[in-house]
Amino acid sequence: MQGIRNNLVVEINDVSKSFGGLVALSDISLDIKQGEICGLIGPNGAGKTTLFNILTGIYSPDSGVFKINGQECQNLKPHLVVKAGLARTFQNIRLFGNMTGLENVMVGQHVRTKVGVVGAIFRHRYARQEERQIEEKSRALMVYVGLDPDTNQLSNTLSYGDQRRLEIARALATDPVVIALDEPAAGMNATETGELRDLLMRIRKDGVTILLIEHDVKLVMGLCDKVAVLDYGVKIAEGKPNAIKQNKDVIRAYLGGSLS
Amino acid sequence: MKELLTDHKISSLKTYFTSYRHAVWIGYVMIAVALIVLPFLVESTIGRTWVRILDFALIYGMLALGLNIVVGFAGLLDLGYIAFYAVGAYTWALLASPQFGLHLPFWVIIPIGFVVAGFFGVLLGAPTLRLRGDYLAIVTLGFGEIIRIFLNNLDHPVNVTNGPVGINLIDPISIGSVDFTKTQEIFGLIFSGAHIYYYVLLLLLLVSILVCIRLENSRLGRAWVAIREDEIAAQAMGINTRNVKLLAFAMGASFGGIAGGLFASFQGFVSPESFILLESIMVLCMVVLGGMGNVWGVVLGTFILAILPEVLRDISSPLQENILGKVWLDPESLRMVLFGLALIVVMLVRPTGLWPSKKNN
């Protein structure tokens, strides 16, 4: 923890990435404070998901550095980024379909637990205790996001909104410092979006920082403490939601130059 | 009146549950007795060869459970699994036969076979970590063949495996002077070698089942299934997919190694032709037919596939004589036709196996 300056749990410095000739991200810098909800918006193809994939260790950046919770992560494998404290959800839901909801959340605690083959086979006291803790915590997390831990339903049979919520519970199970949500409101109706909004407020209140990619501008503007806007791989604006709404560059990026 | 009724209901429920628990215990005891008595019954009714067939079914059971860890739990399609069986069999053969004049006791060889086969599992797993599905199947198939061809040709320049001739006079399991493959008389009961091995193999299969069930319901088992379901999401949940996959290969291979060692000690003889591709496919069929990922399904599938061909061998001639009046088709080929047909029918009717892994709601 000694590496954290000024409560910054995410520090991105001059991260660039290109695929062949296409520059997907150029010199992106962004800091997120502990307990903030930071929105990341931009038109399709602006590089939001690329930045996400870099932060979560799926791609490594061509240049630049980023720190999660004070730890340099630009060259780490995805599972080590999770260990450092960044958990994520996916734009197109990626649950473990043939596992129950509870089992999905239990998998999320893999990185914070350690019983191996010997413990699994002999079930000594420590292994039993850890297993019980995993289950209790998973149940609590399911209740926390508003799901019933006792349904034996396989996760691929859950409703769309429940699947989204389960993904968030699974991500929270990794004990993250920052949780990165990739379009969590996509495909949701107004009621579900409202519930999601309440859930995100609760998560923030409980001390987890949120990085949010979202197309629903109303949700982003109402929820975020800070918004960063990407366009063609460049950060064109960063600031409070109200300031972003007035920003000329942002309006041009979204609506096209001729209108502004 | 109403309260009385509910009271009555509760008490009757209570007696129901206690008697239910008793029934479960009585069930266990009956199964145990049936399993102990089974070889006596089989030997006295349909003959001693059938006890041997049961023994092989038990060996296949261990093999299938091992493959189920790799294919069923972790979702890694392995077509060369029989290689680990071969490694285990030759490990036993080399350490307990006149080949090198070594005669180690079984309790030393079994752990060695476990470790050596597990090592080969990692050896196969390491280069194939990035592969999935069909690509992984092709590479593992190649690995299986490489092992067999090695065993076939390692008789020169230095003779290790005796080549295609195989290794003979392998030591059986023995405790003191009691040789488990020889007929023994205990308390006036006659136990043939196959009969004694039946108990050894049964014990090991039960241990294997227990180990598999415990692995499945553990942090590791969940990680395996997570990788099977979605590898990227598994990584994103902090699972070190490389290590966890290698562990699946190693655990699966170790089961195969132990089964192979017991096979060698039971037969007293091993040669490369026991470890052909068809055997790998047979074990895979047992896993798939029974129900990938479900331990009990896999055991069921094994017993059906290990015993059905033998039953068909015995009945295909009399059946033809009774129905057609004469043996028209060679029983050996008819048997395989019927066997193939049975597999196709099962897969059409129950595509997820006879006893699939999760109750779908």
DSSP, residue by residue, B27-75:
HHHHHHHHHHHHHHHHHHHT-HHHHHHHHHHHHHHHHHHHHIIIIIIS-
Q: Name beta bridge partners: A238.
A: A228
pLDDT level of residue A1 (50, 70, 90 thresholds): very low
Q: Taking residues B318-342, report their average pLDDT.
A: 81
Stronger pLDDT, B316 or A129, i.e. the higher one: A129
- Residues recorded for chain B: 361
Instruction: Give the integer Cα–Cα distance in Å for A4 and A90.
Output: 27
Instruction: Give the integer Cα–Cα distance in Å for B295 and B293.
Output: 6
Output the pLDDT for position B360: 42
List CB contacts (< 8 A) between B237 and chain A: 82, 87, 107-108, 110-111, 170-171, 173-174
Output the pLDDT for position B1: 46
List CB contacts (< 8 A) between B221 and chain A: 120
Q: Taking residues B40-62, report their average pLDDT.
A: 90
What mean pLDDT value characterizes chain A? Answer: 90
Q: Which domains are assigned to chain A?
A: 8-85+176-259 (3.40.50.300), 98-163 (no CATH)
User: For testing the chain A interface, which of B219, B228, B235, B358 should be mutated: the one with the most A CBs within 10 Å?
Assistant: B219
List CB contacts (< 8 A) between A91 and chain B: none
- CA angle B57/B63/B64 to nearest 5° reads 85
Are A98 and B234 within 8 A, CB to CB?
Answer: no
Reduced to 3 states, what is the DSSP secondary structure of residue A52? Answer: helix
Instruction: Give the integer Cα–Cα distance in Å for B238 and B205.
Output: 34
Q: Assign 3-state DSSP to chain B and report helix, strand, coil percentages, each to 5.
A: 75, 5, 20
Instruction: Give the integer Cα–Cα distance in Å for B243 and A77.
Output: 13
Chain A: nearest CA to B222, how far in angstroms? 6
List CB contacts (< 8 A) between B211 and chain A: 121
A/B interface, count of CB pairs below 8 Å: 106
Are B236 and A83 within 8 A, CB to CB?
Answer: no
User: Checking DSSP bridges between strand A178-182 and strand A86-88, what pairing results, if any?
Assistant: parallel
pLDDT level of residue B192 (50, 70, 90 thresholds): confident
Q: CA of B210: which chain A residue's CA is closest?
A: A121
Q: Taking residues B88-109, report their average pLDDT.
A: 92
Where residue B156 falls (left for φ over 0; alpha for ψ -120 to 50; beta otherwise) is beta
Output the pLDDT for position A7: 84
Q: CA of A151: which chain B residue's CA is closest?
A: B361
Instruction: Give the integer Cα–Cα distance in Å for B265 and B154.
Output: 21
List CB contacts (< 8 A) between A157 and chain B: 360-361
Q: How many C-beta atoms surround the C-beta of residue B355 within 10 A?
A: 17
List CB contacts (< 8 A) between B225 and chain A: 96, 98-99, 103
Instruction: Give the integer Cα–Cα distance in Å for B171 and A197.
Output: 70
Tens digit of pLDDT for each residue in A112-121? Answer: 999 989 999 9
Chain B: nearest CA to A167, how far in angstroms? 10
Q: Assign 3-state DSSP to chain A and report helix, strand, coil percentages, each to 5.
A: 40, 25, 35
pLDDT level of residue A2 (50, 70, 90 thresholds): very low
Looking at chain B, the whole-number percentage of residues with pLDDT higher than 70 is 94
Instruction: Give the integer Cα–Cα distance in Å for B361 and B130.
Output: 33
Q: Where are the domains of chain B?
A: 1-45, 49-277
Instruction: Give the integer Cα–Cα distance in Å for A72 and B221.
Output: 31
The yes-or-no verdict on residue A139 having pLDDT over 90 is yes
Cβ proximity of A34 and A245 under 8 Å:
no
Where residue A64 falls (left for φ over 0; alpha for ψ -120 to 50; beta otherwise) is left
The yes-or-no verdict on residue B13 having pLDDT over 60 is yes
Are B238 and A82 within 8 A, CB to CB?
Answer: yes
**ipTM of the prediction:** 0.91
pLDDT level of residue A172 (50, 70, 90 thresholds): very high
Are B236 and A82 within 8 A, CB to CB?
Answer: yes
User: For testing the chain B interface, which of A110, A151, A153 should be mutated: the one with the most B CBs within 10 Å?
Assistant: A110
Q: CA of A173: which chain B residue's CA is closest?
A: B237
Cβ proximity of A186 and A208 under 8 Å:
no
Reduced to 3 states, what is the DSSP secondary structure of residue A178? Answer: strand
Contacts of A59 (CB under 8 A, 6+ apart): A17, A50, A53
Stronger pLDDT, A47 or B20, i.e. the higher one: A47
Instruction: Give the integer Cα–Cα distance in Å for A115 and B223.
Output: 12
